[in-house]
Amino acid sequence: METLFIDGKWAAADDGAHFDVLDPASGEVIDRASDAGAAETRRAIAAAQGAFPQWSAETAYHRSARLLEAHRLMLDRKEALAELLSLEQGKPLKAARNEIGYAAEFLSWFAEEAKRVYGSTIPSSRAGHRFTVLRQPLGVVAGITPWNYPISMITRKVAPALAAGCTIVLKPAEQTPLCAAAVVQILADAGTLAGVVNLITTAQPGPVGEELLRSDIVRKLTFTGSTEIGKYLAARSAETMKRVSMELGGHAPMIVFDDADPAHAAKGAVLAKYLNTGQACISPNRILVQRGIYRAFCEEFTARAGRLVAGRGSTPGVSIGPLVDGAALDKVAAQVQDAVSKGARLLSGGSRLEEGQLAKGWFYAPTVLADVDESMLIHREETFGPVAAIMPFDDEAEAVAKANATEYGLASYVYTNDLGRATRVSEALRFGIVGINDINPTAAAAPFGGIGVSGLGREGGADGIDEYLDVKLIGQVVGPA
pLDDT per residue as tens, the chain (481 positions): 899 999 999 999 999 999 999 999 999 999 999 999 999 999 999 999 999 999 999 999 999 999 999 999 999 999 999 999 999 999 999 999 999 999 999 999 999 999 999 999 999 999 999 999 999 999 999 999 999 999 999 999 999 999 999 999 999 999 999 999 999 999 999 999 999 999 999 999 999 999 999 999 999 999 999 999 999 999 999 999 999 999 999 999 999 999 999 999 999 999 999 999 999 999 999 999 999 999 999 999 999 999 999 999 999 999 999 999 999 999 999 999 999 999 999 999 999 999 998 999 999 999 999 999 999 999 999 999 999 999 999 999 999 999 999 999 999 999 999 999 999 999 999 999 999 999 999 999 999 999 999 999 999 999 999 999 999 999 999 987 6
Cα(402)–Cα(398) distance, integer angstroms: 6
Q: How many residues does the chain have?
A: 481
Backbone angles phi, psi at 207, to 5 degrees: -60, -40
3-class DSSP state of 311: coil
pTM: 0.96
Q: Is 247 a catalytic residue?
A: yes
Cα(433)–Cα(429) distance, integer angstroms: 9
- Count Cβ atoms below 10 Å from residue 312 Cβ, excluding itself: 22
The letter for the amino acid at 467 is E
- Count Cβ atoms below 10 Å from residue 343 Cβ, excluding itself: 11
Cα(366)–Cα(385) distance, integer angstroms: 9
User: What pLDDT, on a 0 to 100 scale, did the predictor assign at position 479?
Assistant: 82
Q: Hey, which residues does 222 pair with through a beta bridge?
A: 143, 245
What's the burial of 392, exposed, middle or buried (CB within 10 Å: 0-12/13-18/19+)? buried
Q: Is 166 a catalytic residue?
A: no
The letter for the amino acid at 6 is I
Domain architecture of the chain: domains with CATH = 4-248+454-474 (3.40.605.10), 252-442 (3.40.309.10)
User: What pLDDT, on a 0 to 100 scale, did the predictor assign at position 284?
Assistant: 97
Q: Which of 256, 275, 243 is nearest to 386 (CA)?
A: 275
Answer for the pair 217, 139: CB distance below 8 angstroms, yes or no: yes
User: What pLDDT, on a 0 to 100 scale, did the predictor assign at position 481?
Assistant: 60
User: Active-site residue among 99, 105, 247, 459?
Assistant: 247
3-class DSSP state of 184: helix
The letter for the amino acid at 340 is V
Cα(407)–Cα(433) distance, integer angstroms: 15
User: Active-site residue among 281, 298, 382, 467?
Assistant: 281
